[in-house]
Structure 1
Amino acid sequence: MHYRLLGRSGLRVSELCLGTMTFGTEWGWGADKQESYRLFETFGKAGGNFLDTANRYTEGTSERFLGEFIEADRDHWVLATKYTLKDRNGDLNFAGNHRKNLFRSVQESLKRLKTDYIDLLWVHMWDATTPVEEVMRGLDDLVSRGMVHYVGISDTPAWIVSQANTIADFRGWSPFVALQIEYSLIQRTPERDLLPMARALDLAVTPWGAIAGGALTGKYLRGENGRVPTHSIRRNDKSMTIAQEVVNVAQELGVTPAQVAINWTRQRDQVMVPIVGARTTQQLLDSLGCLEFSIPPEYLGRLQEVSKIELGFPHDFLRSDGVKDVTFGGLYNQLHNHRS
């Protein structure tokens, strides 16, 4: 396992992050405590130090398990958790990005995690209600108090993240150092704005869903059932075509489809730390196998081609022959190709 700097910080994190949404059986498909510990131990023995959870994962069980697992060597682990999602039905202030829920949620996470501090606190998703200044000031207060070391943001439009970090920089508050988004061969729309923004603002990206809920392992091609409904974007005709190419590449390289899918996200031209989750130790060992190889350029080209998307307006418009020739002389196209 190699290590990366987490965006515009000096924090060292392993090149894979262990997602622990599967720690606990409350949602009907996770791992019990014994298997969860095996997953944790396997990841640690492979050199991993970066752990990701959330206040709502398996109704708090994920945090409780992690709190016990890391207690013996707390300072070794880079522990990330999230706030935003409701953890009491019928009470409006037990959800959202606002200051009251922020402090309440973090204090309860600290108790479950049996720790005095959180290394990285994610805003789990944008609530479209709380002012950006309130969120950034609240997060900075937590950092100033030593309850949180760094802050990141997940599942939020690019313009809001840009606005938030601009305000934080202007005010001298703690900025976001990382961005968590869904990103895979099946879900490449972040390439329109989120990924260029992350590169420009020096945010590390921790993509979730690199294997698209198992779709990119080829299991639906084999007729297996899963938690992904048949009408999902992960199971439409285009997705199945992409999954088949992933399987083909994996067979030609002598690796597994999951390893190919994860490595595709790792081999972008910016800091990418994929979140890998598993319900069994064998699944995690399979994912960790991605560290043993890189996808050669010719195979990357095949994967890029089969999964390509339209960037949409204004990107496609600005790259069109008419615009680039008479307005920019090809400058926009050159810059975009350089960045991507």
Structure 2
Amino acid sequence: MTMDQYYLLGRSGLRVSRLALGTMNFGTGGFHAAYGKTAEEAAPIFHRYLEAGGNLIDTADFYTAGESETILGDLIAAAKVRDRVVLSTKYTYSVDPGDPNAGGNGRKHMIRALEASLRRLRTDHIDLFLLHTWDRITPVEEVMRTFDDLARAGKIRHAGLSDVPAWYAARAQTYAEAHALEPVVSLQLPYSLVHRGIELEHVAMGQQLGLGITAWSPLAGGLLSGKYHATDQGLGGEGRLSGAGGLGRTMTEHDRRVLEALESVAGELGVTMAQVALNWTATQPGIASAIAGASSVRQLDANLAALDFELPAELRARLDEASAVPVPQVYQMFAPGYQNWLINPGAKVGDKPAGYAPAVLNWVDGAEG
């Protein structure tokens, strides 16, 4: 259960571990208080992650109302590992409801948020500073020029985006390239066996433009943790998602197919459902790192063990088939199978150059691709 392989993050020289430590539950304040951990409870999780060779730590100013950053700052300082860790934090959400400029992606709030994060994290720079969520208002040019200013000032080492449309990320990167600004090297997005929407555009965009994807919620909010299974009544198991539409979630036919396939594959490999789900996400095309939190050292060790095996091709195919979703028609029009049939009928396609990443669209309902 060690991480001894590191991967370049996007088109950068920054090396990160395949599993990142999510710290949304470090702290007991704010929106995440219901399942937060005190500093004393978080410490052993933090230290075990470092002992295992992990180096990418993900937080945000919004997590537990800033407590996550404060706890991390204290832990990193006490362990004297600031240079070793790749520290990632995010900004966007409001820190003062009465101030219209205390939230969003604008220059004023970005600089204010970064300075506050630096104080809480007890450091003079952030290794990876991300826009947390697209605010639908701020011009992308303003965001990229501010990232560039902060990088030139030495306050951030790399810039990234989280939860933005693919066109927005593409616009940001091409604008930075055209004006010799600090590029974006990372794109943080939700991705799991039950949420594969980013495969339609984000994955290929990231591969083409040099953005390494860090996948959050690889266990789909706990649905793929192994606590739950499909039943005739819906979602069975003991956890916060089960019960009468637990946390507002209802079992879909897609969920059922995924859970049944996941349970089957885990049984054949002799590992847990969570480990299979984590392994699948972490080893998908374009994914630089999967972000996984932990409520205990035991759970962290189980997560780390997800890297100790390989998914055989036939079992991965079973998971891919079960988790496939219908592709919107516009994407079908330029999918490889359709193009071979209509544009190059009868043509034989040779081997692709080394490093070519195949399309990852999945077809369902008998369509061909």
- Does structure 1 residue 67 correspond to structure 2 residue 67? no
- The structure whose residues are more often helix, as a share, is 1
Q: Which moved more, 1:65-74 or 1:54-63?
A: 65-74
Question: Partners of 1:333 and 1:233 in 2: how far apart?
Answer: 44
Specify whether residues 185 and 142 from structure 1 end up closer, same or farther in structure 2 by C-alpha distance, changes over 3 A only: same
Aligned to 2:307: 291
Which one-letter code corresponds to 1:37 in the other structure? A
Pairwise CA RMSD:
2.2
Which one-letter code corresponds to 1:224 in the other structure? E
Deviations along 1:238-296, one digit per CA (max 9) or x if unpaired, are 21321121121111101111110011012223343000111222211111111211111
Aligned to 2:35: 29
Structure 1 residue aligned with 2:319, among 303, 328, 336? Answer: 303
Aligned to 1:209: 217
Deviations along 1:183-202, one digit per CA (max 9) or x if unpaired, are 00000111101111111112
The correspondence of residues 42-81 of structure 1 with structure 2, limited to 5 A, is: 42-71=48-77, 72-81=80-89
Structure 2 residue aligned with 1:239, among 231, 249, 255? Answer: 255
Note the C-alpha offset of 1:89.
Answer: 1.8
Asked if the contact 2:44–2:297 (Cα under 8 Å) also holds between the matched residues in 1, the reply is yes
Asked if the contact 1:310–1:316 (Cα under 8 Å) also holds between the matched residues in 2, the reply is no
TM-score (normalised: structure 2)? 0.87
Structure 1 residue aligned with 2:288, among 255, 265, 272? Answer: 272
Which one-letter code corresponds to 1:238 in the other structure? H
Which one-letter code corresponds to 1:275 in the other structure? I
Note the C-alpha offset of 1:133.
Answer: 0.5
Secondary structure class of the residue paired with 1:51? strand
Question: Partners of 2:168 and 2:113 in 1: how far apart?
Answer: 22
Deviations along 1:151-197, one digit per CA (max 9) or x if unpaired, are 01000000010011000001000111011000000001111011111
Which one-letter code corresponds to 1:5 in the other structure? L
Aligned to 1:226: 240
The correspondence of residues 28-177 of structure 1 with structure 2, limited to 5 A, is: 28-71=34-77, 72-177=80-185
Secondary structure class of the residue paired with 2:57? strand
Question: Partners of 2:346 and 2:330 in 1: how far apart?
Answer: 15
Asked if the contact 1:216–1:261 (Cα under 8 Å) also holds between the matched residues in 2, the reply is yes
Which one-letter code corresponds to 2:126 in the other structure? I
Question: Partners of 1:84 and 1:93 in 2: how far apart?
Answer: 10
Structure 1 residue aligned with 2:10, among 3, 7, 11? Answer: 7
Question: Partners of 2:201 and 2:152 in 1: how far apart?
Answer: 31
Specify whether residues 333 and 164 from structure 1 end up closer, same or farther in structure 2 by C-alpha distance, changes over 3 A only: farther
Note the C-alpha offset of 1:328.
Answer: 3.8
Q: Which moved more, 1:259-268 or 1:114-123?
A: 259-268
Asked if the contact 2:105–2:143 (Cα under 8 Å) also holds between the matched residues in 1, the reply is yes
Q: How many residues align?
A: 340
Q: Which moved more, 1:16-25 or 1:261-270?
A: 261-270
Asked if the contact 1:150–1:176 (Cα under 8 Å) also holds between the matched residues in 2, the reply is yes
Asked if the contact 1:191–1:311 (Cα under 8 Å) also holds between the matched residues in 2, the reply is no
The correspondence of residues 312-323 of structure 1 with structure 2, limited to 5 A, is: 312-319=328-335
Question: Partners of 2:194 and 2:94 in 1: how far apart?
Answer: 29
Structure 1: any 5+ residue segments left out of the alignment?
none
